Chains A and B, each alone.
Chain A
Amino acid sequence: MSAMAELFPIELTVNGRRRSLEVAVHHSLLDVLRDDLELTGTKECCLVGECGACTVAMNGQIVDSCLVLAVEADGAEITTVEGLAAGGRLSPLQQAFLDTGAVQCGFCTPGQLVAAADLLARNPRPSVPEIEEGLAGNLCRCGCYVQITEAVLAAAREADR
């Protein structure tokens, strides 16, 4: 790739806000979110789609934003961790993460939350094995997995009330 990379205009709707920008053709959606839009809640770790730290929702599907070229996301609706708290209020899932102790260092948390919100949207009453399988692509080195599962269960119960 050249340092003088070709720029390509794209439009994204990020957390409900329309953004027009010019991106280098080889830059990932993660690069653009973090560097161009300064939405640094989405985290960079492995860059090979294994750790899940960069998980965002794209047109209602979760993706590893490190594996999606920004130009591929042209026209897409993107939800990042910054878009989960509606009107400045924590979502029940975010609150459950705090209450159950699902957050230690917090670096994997944005990806965990986006993936868990997607899981609950597709399966509002998941079982423990379904949660563990659904979130297997999101690594947590602090080892909060049990508490993350508890948080997802708690959020599902909250939504049922």
Chain B
Amino acid sequence: MSTDRVGASPNRVGGVGRVTGAQRYAADIKLADALQVKLVCLPVARGRIVSIDSSAALAVPGVRFVMTAADLPQPVPRFGPQFTDRPVMAVGETKYHGEPVAAVAAETKDAAEEGARLVRVDYEALRPIVTLADALAPGADLVQDASIRPRDPLAGTNVLREHRFGWGDVDATPADLVVENSYTFPIVTHFAIEPHVFMAAPDGDGIAVWSSIQHPYWLQRILAGVLDLPLSRVRVFAPDPGGGFGGKQHAKYEPLVAFLALLTGRPCRLVLSLEQTFQAVRRTCTEVHVRTGLMSDGTLAFVDVKADYNIGAYADIADRVVGKGSYPAAGPYRVPAVRIVSRSVLSHTTPATAMRGFGNPQVNWAVESNLDEGARALGIDRRDIRLRNVARTGDTLNPVDTRCDGEWDQAVRRAAEMIGWDTPAPPGHGRGIALGFKSGPTTGLSQSTVRLLSDGSALVYAGTSDMGQGARTVWAQIVATELGVPLERITTVSGDTAVVPYDQQTSASRSTVLMGNAVLRACQDVQAKVRAMAARLHGVPEEQITVERGIVRLPDREVAIVDVVKPGLGRMAGEIVGNGMARKDAEPDHPLQGSAAFFEFNCTAVEATVDEETGDITLHKYATVSDVGKAINPLQVRMQDEGAAIQGLGHTLMEHYIYDDEGRIRNLGAIDYRIPTSMDLPLELHSDVIENADGPGPYGAKGMSEGALISAAAAVAGAVRDATGIVIRDLPLSPERVWRALQERSAR
């Protein structure tokens, strides 16, 4: 098999730039004559702005402009991917610690920083709502003024939306055993190593914006709306992000920087610090109450879930996270009756947004852990109870959604086998197993263009953001496979909305399926034109010619595509242009407005010990197995799967925000907020894939990259329970928390 093609693992496209330092991330781009921007915020989460005095800041040499909400169109424009609730800058009252009240633009970073320190803001500190309990207390202050929630029956509360899903009648369904518990999931943050970067410059009659964004085309629409410009006058440059994990999906301070550029007439550049990035993006934290009904043989009778998600001050995409994350709460199982009630709750904290797993890890942690407790109570092996209930291909899950689309039991058996589930564990060792499950994209639209040039080289245009998942490599492999062009003669183009066709978004593990199909169809469009060209060139009817996998089959021989294209294009050169599109339309009557394009499925199995003296958990064996349909690039699949597992160990073992009474994050930044390092790994970490070519993407591929993160926490907690007997229902399983639980156990 060629090392270029689908199923092989050629080096990452763009890899050389990444190992030589030549890769240009957003902060590496210098705009001539740019002003440097620093934000001004209050030292509290919630403060009523009395007055802002910029005079001292404007006296700093080099400071050119201090923008406040008063400089913006009135009323101050608001924006958001789901609700139009976030103002370009704080209006009247700040809603979270870090929300900008002013922005200083200066010739140098130093001048901007000094100016920002000298902007004097008089404010009245108000008591912030930080926790779910605060937000839901009777008579609680409202985080969002009812005026920005018109025609919303919940506008008088801090509940933004309540979602209800399910089927069957939970209350009427008998069960031999009901297990009922509450679980919490902390606030964690994306911690992409590349902090967020926003730049804007006047561009003719419009605006050009550079951002470390995952969804450049969505950003383009947001900016066009806020600035009242046609889409054709808003050009978004989206250099490959240095990690996104969902935190870079949606607009944050791009509108602010765009207004600065238009008001100053100059390019403006804002680079957030890591601390500011912590204040700008985070995952929803969640309290989940689960009732699991089981028959004595381990068959699931019902699943009953209530989940409250703290989403912060503005919705961003977090209410969609709540809906889509709680919807599959019953898991990959056949369950006769399911009831899910989830709420997105506002608070004076950083607006939550998408983060790898999209609301599913929070609920999965609870539901999978609760299933373990049921298995123990019934004396059933925890793998076997999952095998008993997990859906088989074609089985109904949710009656209104896509049926089971994989051989999921294969992944369960494989992961268990990889840690030696059927052999006795060494003394002191415990084992855990959990299934990760997630609905894939519910809607989607991706368009691609492939240009086969006169020398047989090719350009592929695909608007997916390559933030580490390796999208460019996948497109190049598809083109290499379909058109027979060697990888070193293929160039991938993305990151410029003025040049590259539309892509709805880079999220939900969609790109290999949706954009992959668009690229494949663009290649097929090229193939059809090559076929017509071959017919003309060789005087053969088109019906007698086939074109596939780089080869043109004529009645009497086969030739390479390039050997048709070169003579076919002739002395005037030119090129063959193919277009492709993949779309998944919304279904208005569906509870999520669209059924799953595919499901992500993962099984994680773990063997662990716990240090009784320190509470420290050692993961001896860690196996993650995902159902991927087809691994187009097996090495990249492994990297995504194992990387997701390690990221999942972050919220499982160590990560969480700690807030003070003023609504400030106390452990702000890399010193006090720890993420996994090379010293925090399982002693053995192995991944494997299930490939049955049963996905909707090219060559049978499915989306993958989130599943291994979703199941991490329940698998590890299960192993801790198995090793020690302690049950912890709050994450992270930090040494302190584990140690305290061990002390309580000993005291009993």
Contacts and interface: CB of A to CB of B under 8 A. Distances in A.
Query: Is chain B a partner of chain A in the same complex?
Result: yes
B24 interface: yes
A147 B111 contact: no
Interface in A104-147: 104-110, 113, 131-133, 135-147
B19 A107 contact: no
A48 B671 CA distance: 8
Contact of A84 (B20, B27, B678): B20
Most buried by B among A46, A84, A136: A46
Contacts of B678: 131-133, 135-136, 138, 145, 148-149
Given A48-B671, A90-B16, A136-B677, A107 B639 contact: no
Contact of B19 (A90, A137, A141): A90
Given A1-B114, A3-B61, A144-B643, A105 B16 contact: no
B501 interface: no
A45 B304 CA distance: 43
B669 A81 contact: no
A43 B28 CA distance: 9
Contacts of B644: 143
A51 B193 contact: yes
Contacts of B20: 41, 81-82, 84-85, 90, 94
Contact of B21 (A35, A50, A51, A80): A80
Nearest to B23: A106
Nearest to B643: A143
Contacts of A51: 193, 274, 670
Contact of A107 (B61, B109, B243, B685): B243
Contacts of A84: 19-20
B60 interface: yes
Contacts of B676: 143, 145
Contact of A44 (B27, B241, B636): B27
Contacts of A110: 21
B15 interface: yes
Interface stretch (B463-471, B516-524, B574-582): B463-471
Contacts of B25: 43, 107
A148 B647 CA distance: 16
A140 to B, nearest CB: 7
B195 interface: yes
A101 B242 CA distance: 16
Contact of B468 (A38, A97, A136, A142): A142
B645 A143 contact: yes
Given A3-B114, A98-B11, A139-B193, A105 B19 contact: no
Contact of A104 (B62, B195, B639, B670): B639
Contacts of B675: 139, 141
A14 B486 CA distance: 37
B245 interface: yes
B365 interface: no
Given A109-B18, A136-B677, A145-B678, A47 B645 contact: no
B3 to A, nearest CB: 12
Contacts of B681: 132, 145-146
A123 B679 CA distance: 19
A97 B11 CA distance: 10
Contacts of B108: 3
Contacts of B242: 43, 105-107
B626 to A, nearest CB: 14
A113 B677 contact: no
A47 B109 CA distance: 15
A104 B635 CA distance: 11
Interface in B623-653: 635-636, 638-640, 642-647
Contacts of B401: none
B19 A143 contact: no
A99 interface: yes
Contacts of A94: 19-20
A74 B261 CA distance: 37
Contacts of B482: none
A98 B19 contact: yes
Given A107-B194, A139-B677, A99 B11 contact: yes
Interface string A16-45: 000000001010000000110011111111
Most buried by B among A135, A139, A142: A142
Contact of B245 (A42, A46, A90, A141): A141
Interface string A40-74: 11111111101101000000000000000000000
Nearest to A42: B21
Contacts of B498: none
Given A82-B21, A141-B191, A144-B639, A3 B111 contact: yes
Interface string B46-73: 0000000000000011110000000000
A140 B642 CA distance: 12
B405 interface: no
A110 B539 CA distance: 56
B21 A40 contact: yes
A47 B114 CA distance: 18
Interface in B667-702: 669-671, 675-679, 681, 685
Contact of A3 (B62, B245, B639): B62
B22 interface: yes
B193 A107 contact: yes
A131 B678 CA distance: 9
Interface of A: 1-5, 24, 26, 34-35, 38-48, 50-51, 53, 80-82, 84-85, 90, 94, 97-99, 101, 103-110, 113, 131-133, 135-149
* 9 interchain residue pairs of minimum CB distance: A41-B21, A107-B242, A106-B18, A105-B468, A143-B646, A143-B643, A104-B468, A50-B670, A46-B670
6 contacts: A3-B61, A48-B670, A48-B671, A104-B468, A141-B192, A146-B681
Given A45-B195, A137-B677, 10 more contacts: A48-B669, A82-B20, A94-B20, A105-B242, A105-B467, A107-B192, A132-B681, A139-B193, A139-B677, A142-B643
Interface of B: 9, 11-12, 14-25, 27-28, 30, 60-63, 106, 108-111, 114-115, 190-195, 240-245, 271, 273-274, 467-470, 635-636, 638-640, 642-647, 669-671, 675-679, 681, 685
